[in-house]
C-alpha cells in the first residue's frame, strides 16, 4: 500500500490484496482500525475505488486506487463525575476496573450521566470510534458486577479489540443458576440474535443470529430437598429444584450471552427477572452474575495480565445462606 495524508488515505491495491473485500482491506489500515469503522466510511460515501463508490463487499483488484476521506474525530461532550471505584490494575496504557452492580457501562439512551465511563474520565481513558465510549473494549450489563478492561489510547484500544474478537482475552464469570446438572461441565453453542417479539431482549435463533459459545463448570450445587429447598418452598408455596454455582468462561461475547444461553437449557440465572423467574426467591435484587477474572496479553509489554475479583457482599451472603442450609 502507498501513502496517506492528514485529510485523506490513498491506497494502491497490491497483488497480495487483490480479491479482498473492500471493508476488510480498509480495516487493516491503522488510520481506520476496525471493520465497523471501514463500513461506516463506505456507507457514508467517503470511500471511492478508481473514482467510483463501491459497496462494502466489493472485491478489489490489483492496481486499483482507493481514496478514503477521514473526517476529524468527534469531540466528546462527557464530563467526569466523582465515583468510588475499585481499579485493581492500571498502567499508562490501560486499566482494569471492578464495576459495581447498578451502574451502566457507558452512556446510552436514558443514561446520559452516572455511567462507569463518567467515573473513569479522570483516569485519561481514550480510544475507539465512539466519543461517548472512550476506551471501552467490552461491557457488562447494568446489574452484572465485576471486571472490565478500559484502554487509554487508540493503539491499545485497537489491539485489545482485536484480541477480544480473536478470543485471546480469557473472561471467567461466577453465576448461580436454578436447578442441578447431570454433568460437571459442558458447552453451549447456539447463535444469538434479537428476540422477534421483544426487540430489547436477545434469544437463541437459527436465522440471522451470531455464533455464540459458552463453557461452564459446576462448582457447587444444592438440591431442592434440603433445608434451603424447604425454606424456599415454604416462602413461595412452590417446590424448589435447587441451585448450582457455575464457573462460566466466554468464548464469544454477545449481548446477554450467559443469561440467554443458560436460560435456553433450563437453568436461568438466579435473580434474572428478564430471562428467568419473575419471583426473586433468594432476595437478590439482581441477577447473580459476576465477572470474576480477566487474563490477557498486555498489548505494549507482551506480559500476561491476570486480575481476579472476589464476589461482592450481596452475592456472597446468598451463597453463605445456601451453604448454611
Convert the pLDDT of each residue in 293-320 to its tens digit: 999 999 999 999 999 999 999 999 999 9
Establish whether 141 is a catalytic residue: yes
pLDDT at 173 > cutoff 70: yes
Per the CB < 8 A criterion, the answer to whether 325 and 228 are in contact is: yes
pLDDT at 277 > cutoff 90: no
User: All domains of the chain, ordered by start, with CATH?
Assistant: 8-69 (3.10.290.10), 86-164 (3.30.2350.10), 170-324 (3.30.2350.10)
* Range of weakest confidence among 19-23, 160-164, 234-238, 249-253: 234-238
The span from the first CA to the last CA of the chain, in angstroms, equals: 67
Phi-psi region for residue 28, left (φ > 0), alpha (ψ -120 to 50) or beta?
A: alpha
pLDDT at 164 > cutoff 60: yes
Alpha carbon distance 1, 28 (integer Å): 11
Global pTM value: 0.76
pLDDT at 106 > cutoff 70: yes
pLDDT at 231 > cutoff 60: no
- Of the residues 17, 23, 98, 141, only one is catalytic, namely 141
Any residues with CB less than 8 A from the CB of 317 and at least 6 apart, and which? Answer: none
pLDDT at 290 > cutoff 50: yes
Amino acid at each position: 500500500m502507498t501513502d496517506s495524508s492528514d485529510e485523506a488515505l490513498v491506497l494502491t491495491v497490491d497483488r497480495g490484496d487483490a480479491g479482498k473485500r473492500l471493508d476488510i482491506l480498509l480495516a487493516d489500515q491503522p488510520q481506520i482500525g476496525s471493520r465497523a469503522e471501514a463500513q461506516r466510511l463506505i456507507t457514508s460515501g467517503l470511500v471511492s475505488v478508481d473514482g467510483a463508490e463501491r459497496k462494502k463487499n466489493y472485491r478489489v483488484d490489483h492496481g486499483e486506487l482507493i481514496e478514503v476521506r477521514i473526517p476529524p474525530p468527534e469531540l466528546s461532550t462527557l464530563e467526569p463525575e466523582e465515583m468510588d471505584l475499585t481499579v485493581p490494575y492500571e498502567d499508562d496504557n490501560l486499566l482494569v476496573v471492578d464495576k459495581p452492580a447498578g451502574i451502566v457501562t457507558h452512556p446510552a439512551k436514558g443514561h446520559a450521566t452516572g455511567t462507569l465511563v463518567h467515573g473513569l474520565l479522570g483516569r485519561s481513558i481514550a480510544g475507539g470510534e465512539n466519543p461517548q465510549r472512550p476506551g471501552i473494549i467490552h461491557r457488562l450489563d447494568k446489574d452484572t458486577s465485576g471486571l472490565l478492561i478500559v484502554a487509554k489510547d487508540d493503539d491499545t484500544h485497537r489491539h485489545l479489540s482485536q484480541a477480544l474478537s480473536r478470543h485471546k482475552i480469557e473472561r471467567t464469570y461466577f453465576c448461580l443458576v436454578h436447578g442441578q446438572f447431570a454433568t460437571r461441565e459442558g458447552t453451549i453453542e447456539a447463535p444469538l440474535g434479537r428476540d422477534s417479539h421483544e426487540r430489547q431482549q436477545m434469544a437463541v435463533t437459527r436465522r440471522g443470529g451470531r455464533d455464540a459459545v459458552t463453557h461452564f463448570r459446576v462448582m457447587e450445587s444444592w438440591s431442592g430437598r434440603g433445608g434451603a429447598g424447604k425454606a424456599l418452598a415454604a416462602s413461595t408455596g412452590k417446590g424448589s429444584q435447587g441451585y448450582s454455582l457455575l464457573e462460566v468462561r466466554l468464548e464469544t461475547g454477545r449481548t446477554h450471552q450467559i443469561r440467554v444461553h443458560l436460560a435456553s437449557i433450563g437453568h436461568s440465572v438466579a435473580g434474572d427477572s428478564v430471562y428467568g423467574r419473575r419471583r426473586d426467591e433468594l432476595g437478590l435484587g439482581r441477577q447473580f452474575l459476576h465477572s470474576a477474572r480477566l487474563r490477557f496479553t498486555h498489548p505494549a509489554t507482551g506480559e500476561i495480565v491476570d486480575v481476579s475479583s472476589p464476589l461482592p457482599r450481596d452475592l456472597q451472603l446468598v451463597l453463605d445462606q445456601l451453604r448454611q442450609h
